[in-house]
Structure 1
Amino acid sequence: MSETIRLDDKLVGKDQPAYIIAEMSANHAGSKERALEIIRAAKDAGADCVKVQTYTPETMTLDSDKKWFKIDKGTWEGENLYSLYQKAYTPWEWQEDLKKEAEKIGIDFFSTPYENTAVDFLEDLGVEFYKVASFSITNLPFLKYLAQKDKPIIMSTGMATLAEIDEAVRTIREVGNEQLALLNCSSAYPSIADDMNLKNIKNLEETFGVPVGLSDHSLGSVAAVTSVAMGAKIIEKHFCMSREIENPDSSFSMEPDEFKKMVNDIRAAERAIGKIDYSISEKEKNSRIFRRSIFAVEDIKAGEEITEENIKIIRPGFGLKPKHWDNVLKTKAIKDIEKGTPLSWSMIK
């Protein structure tokens, strides 16, 4: 078990800022130039990393029109699996250039392989860490093969029961790979708030002793920012240049300005979370004068009794603290006290 993992030159996990991944997926819409543009835009939007997916239609499914290969509901309703993957996949011959572009501009680059030949390809490419998609979490032979590369693995847990997650984690650890992070995930496209169960983040962290984050397919940034407040250390969001560029992922992807705002909100949330600290900041010290304290609200002559009629607990805080109220009542003024004067011990007997 490890509370942190290293992704390229960054530590991810306990006491570290959230690692933010821009998922390209199909948003290149068949254009290598757009894929390169997405990498540059992700960097400008504040992402730590850009992710692609490495598969071909043939490595994912069978070219068949039988009913089992048809999608009958959801975002891709009516699609045939093989034709969907034809539209969505990132050509392998692009990926070396995409990685070089990421390295040139200073953003991390990695991929989601779906079977062993994709892992071999990415190993030859020199990818330093991997993503396991929710749909692969039960493919234990594949997880074992990937884990044997002894590189960090970020694994999404969408659709998985706790038992299935445990089985996948044990499969990775049994080959000696402890470089693992888990992402809470709702594998619906788009996800809705009712299905996200962000409380799983803390539970996954406590159960498996690994860094935990969120693979977020919901619209907007509320879930991502909230998850950081709940302990998420990795945020993955689909990223596009424009949702008007149609592709299988565009409808639930973030445009650059939206992604940048999300990043800024996450960083602001991290600053607000801060640390356990009850010391008083300089700004708070300046505000303390607006607490209530005991003031004379009538002119009080020397020798006159202090009563509820001639003193009150009001703002600002220059007088005796309210906790002294009972001790002050029925004492006597030892000098004249003008209305509007903060009470002090030197004024009463």
Structure 2
Amino acid sequence: MFVLEMANNHWGRVDRGLKIINAYSQVVRFNNVRAAIKLQFRDVDTFIHRDWRDNQDIRYIKKTRDTEMSKADYRTLVEAIRRGGCIPAATPFDEASVDLCVELGVEFIKIASSDINDWFLIEKIASTRKPVSFSTGGSSLKDIDDIVTFFDRRGIPLAINHCVSVYPSEDSELELNQIDFLRDRYPGHVVGLSTHEYHDWHSSMLIAYAKGARTFERHIDIEADGIPVSPYCTLPAQADEWFKAYHKVREMSGGSGRERRAVPQKEIEYLDALVRGVYAREDLPAGHVLREEDVYLAIPLQKGQISCREFMIGEVLREPVAAHAAIGINAIDSPYAETNAMRSLIEARGVDPLPTTAGPSTPPPAKPAKLETPSSNGSPKATSEA
């Protein structure tokens, strides 16, 4: 799932928020991906101490007041997200905002990196029983272990996002190997990537998906109203590139990584064309017990001919075989001939036989030397076993 976070609370403007939702809903539908659009909920009356609400010197307080929204505003945006075919989600920064998540029916709750050990808020979020995701950011390993254990014990679904809380992040700061670490340490949990890099929207998707990430989060914005876009934010055209990279890496990765892939017929046919068939070195009568020196291996493999894969010393010929002729599956007492499915595969693979069998322009390979193994008294003895 893709999580599209509306950066800076879309500057507290409902009209701008609706423009962002409309733009990204179209890109999501066009690329046929599953996406949530995530809002940030803050109840200013409880989030900021009353004596500090008008402070303009502390950046976080000023931005929170500048982007303040009413409950009705949030409801308008949540309804627009649903109409656009996306999943409404939210990051609540206080207990009153958790109640708003329940009231508006958001599908899941995100815990901000800064709140990973705010246990008052976490307890309140857990009480909703809604699925939860969180980003690791700069948290300690103990903090991450604690929050995973907390939600596991309560049976609440939890997704874990690797995240570097640097805005924006350079490629050299992404630390994508942390996805491997999180998957190994927390098996059974969905692991994702919450990222703020700004050089391309392609490479990290390929790497993260191949490493097993299955949720992907970025901040989103649009160029409108004369408002500058932060460099860590994604624009609609960049989201389109991001989604297309996801489809490409899924195509290249194929099916499950936990079981053997289904090999396509064209690949089987290609490999069959490289396999050597078994040919008679000289005229062989019916009833002859085949030895290693009676045959040689060469390409092409013909339809119905046994190959180096099936030939076993000691098989008996059911019919005579001329020198340099292919030894067919029906000409020997092979167990492969007794199994209809196996015989059918052998009869269907390889090239069609020539209309007539002519002698080769070059002599067959020299007879193989006997393999020698030590006898019980230490002197060599001959064997024809391959």
- Fold agreement, TM-score > 0.5: yes
Is 1:264 equivalent to 2:244 in the alignment?
A: yes
Who is 2:37 aligned against? 50
Is 1:251 equivalent to 2:231 in the alignment?
A: yes
Who is 2:330 aligned against? none
Distance 1:163 1:210 in 2: 17
User: Residue 218 of structure 2: SS of its match in structure 1?
Assistant: strand
- In structure 2, the CA distance between the partners of 1:245 and 1:251, relative to structure 1 (3 Å rule), is farther
2:267 maps to amino acid: E
Distance 2:163 2:224 in 1: 22
1:189 maps to amino acid: Y
Who is 2:121 aligned against? 142
Distance 1:278 1:128 in 2: 34
1:206-221 residue pairs with structure 2 within 5 A?
206-208=184-186, 209-219=188-198, 220-221=200-201
Is 1:111 equivalent to 2:90 in the alignment?
A: yes
Is the CA contact (8 Å cut-off) linking 1:243 and 1:251 kept in structure 2? no
Paired residues, what number?
Answer: 289
User: Residue 142 of structure 2: SS of its match in structure 1?
Assistant: helix
Q: TM-score, normalised by structure 2?
A: 0.63
Find the partner of 2:63 among 84, 96, 113. Answer: 84
Who is 1:5 aligned against? none
Who is 2:174 aligned against? 196
Distance 1:269 1:31 in 2: 36
Is the CA contact (8 Å cut-off) linking 1:182 and 1:211 kept in structure 2? yes
Who is 1:327 aligned against? none
- How many angstroms does 1:336 deviate by? 4.5
| Structure of greater Rg | 2
Who is 1:300 aligned against? none
Is the CA contact (8 Å cut-off) linking 1:53 and 1:90 kept in structure 2? no
- How many angstroms does 1:287 deviate by? 4.6
**What runs of 5+ residues in structure 2 fail to find an aligned partner?**
29-33, 278-297, 310-322, 326-357, 366-386
Is the CA contact (8 Å cut-off) linking 1:225 and 1:262 kept in structure 2? no
- In structure 2, the CA distance between the partners of 1:163 and 1:246, relative to structure 1 (3 Å rule), is same
2:112 maps to amino acid: A
Greater relative CO (CA pairs within 8 A, separation 6+): 1
Is the CA contact (8 Å cut-off) linking 1:183 and 1:234 kept in structure 2? yes
Is the CA contact (8 Å cut-off) linking 2:126 and 2:156 kept in structure 1? no
1:1-349 residue pairs with structure 2 within 5 A?
19-26=1-8, 28-46=10-28, 48-55=35-42, 59=47, 62-63=52-53, 64=55, 69=58, 80-88=59-67, 91-173=70-152, 176-208=154-186, 209-219=188-198, 220-221=200-201, 222-242=203-223, 245-246=226-227, 250-273=230-253, 274-275=255-256, 276-285=259-268, 287-288=270-271, 335-337=358-360
User: Residue 155 of structure 1: SS of its match in structure 2?
Assistant: strand
Question: For the aligned residues, what is the CA RMSD?
Answer: 3.7
- In structure 2, the CA distance between the partners of 1:20 and 1:186, relative to structure 1 (3 Å rule), is same
Distance 1:317 1:126 in 2: 66
1:93 maps to amino acid: A
- How many angstroms does 1:22 deviate by? 1.2
- How many angstroms does 1:204 deviate by? 1.8
Query: Percent of aligned pairs with the same residue?
Result: 22
Superposed CA offset, 1:255-278 (max 9, x none): 112101211211221232223435
1:191 maps to amino acid: S
- How many angstroms does 1:145 deviate by? 1.4
- In structure 2, the CA distance between the partners of 1:229 and 1:122, relative to structure 1 (3 Å rule), is same
User: Residue 90 of structure 2: SS of its match in structure 1?
Assistant: strand
Superposed CA offset, 1:127-151 (max 9, x none): 2320011111121221111111111
- In structure 2, the CA distance between the partners of 1:225 and 1:34, relative to structure 1 (3 Å rule), is farther
Distance 1:254 1:269 in 2: 20
- In structure 2, the CA distance between the partners of 1:83 and 1:291, relative to structure 1 (3 Å rule), is farther
User: Residue 189 of structure 2: SS of its match in structure 1?
Assistant: coil
Who is 2:347 aligned against? none
User: Residue 119 of structure 1: SS of its match in structure 2?
Assistant: helix
1:33 maps to amino acid: D
1:159 maps to amino acid: G
